[in-house]
Amino acid sequence: MQNSPFRQFLSRNPEVFNTKALDFDSKNGEMTTIFDFCKRLIGNRITWAAGRKHMIQFIAKALDKLQPYVPLLQSFVWPAFISIVLFIYKKQAREIIGAVRQRIERGSSFKAGPLEIGEDLKQLEYAQPSQDKNIAIDKAALSWEQERNDIYKKNDGYFLTHVLTPSRSSGQKYDIYIYLIKHKTTDLSAVEFSEFFFGHMWGNKVFKEYPKRGVIGISTSAYGPFLCTCRVHLKDGTVVVLNRYIDFEMGKMIDAQHKIRRTEDRDADFVHKQ
């Protein structure tokens, strides 16, 4: 009895069946061990089967409760997947997004009066400049040519122009530089001084400006377009009256360029930090 296979198995695995406390020298002890083994084996299988049944029932009930939320969970699958991909490849994604954004900003349209600079202005007819300087003037264009020449003569070749930049003054949109130019020359030596008038928003004040380093003009700031009138006093006593509407149309292009530059700087900083 002492050399039976079952006794040997129990002797080698006492921690599994807790048989250390049993007396293996007696027949009753071995029978008790066999009985205890069978009881535990059957009990464990019953317990495992019951536990599996309860687990299956629990999972089934849980799935039944989650069923109304399945469409919602499905809607999160793609966003979650895209978020994970963007997180893993965030540097490449940032470069792609930056390139697309710059492309859109460079090609995006913005309003210019009744039109939009961009696709709308591309539909305008292109007036091809003539390469022949000795082209004959059509009779129908004689009156137009005479009108142009009269304007040149009336102005003595002087005109007003302006440039603008984003304003450094609080509450203003642009800083504006208005100055005098002359047709086909930069010589303004015949001008003694010029007077500029902007209207009531500037206190109805007349600004008298003398030549400064070859430039005759004035700077100001504004949050909206306005009309500038000017009287150019020549040294021979002649007074040339000019006017110019100080519009903000080119300012929109400047804003777009500044936006692109800020985007490029921001993307460059991000790549540098990576």
Tally Cβ neighbours within 10 Å of residue 108: 13
CA-nearest of 166, 176, 250, 168 to 220 is 176
E-strand ranges in the chain read 110-112, 115-117, 158-166, 174-182, 191-197, 206-209, 217-222, 226-234, 239-246
Largest CA distance in the chain: 144
Structure tokens at 74: 């499905």
d(CA 177, CA 251): 13
Judged by DSSP in three states, 133 sits in coil
pLDDT value of position 243: 98
Convert the pLDDT of each residue in 195-227 to its tens digit: 999 999 999 999 999 999 999 999 999 999 999
pLDDT value of position 28: 47
Q: Left (φ > 0), alpha (ψ -120 to 50) or beta: where does 169 sit?
A: beta
pTM over 0.85: no
Structure tokens at 21: 């406390």
Convert the pLDDT of each residue in 57-99 to its tens digit: 777 777 677 667 667 666 777 778 788 877 787 777 777 766 6
Alpha carbon 270 to its chain's center: 14
Structure tokens at 47: 């317990």
Structure tokens at 184: 């086909």
Q: Left (φ > 0), alpha (ψ -120 to 50) or beta: where does 184 sit?
A: left
Give 5 or 236, the one with higher predicted confidence. Answer: 236
pLDDT value of position 117: 53
Is residue 141 within 8 A of residue 181, CB to CB? The reply is no
The answer, yes or no, to whether residue 183 has pLDDT greater than 70, is yes
Mean pLDDT, rounded, for 224-234: 98
pLDDT value of position 31: 45
Is residue 177 within 8 A of residue 254, CB to CB? The reply is no
Mean pLDDT, rounded, of the chain: 77
Mean pLDDT, rounded, for 163-174: 94
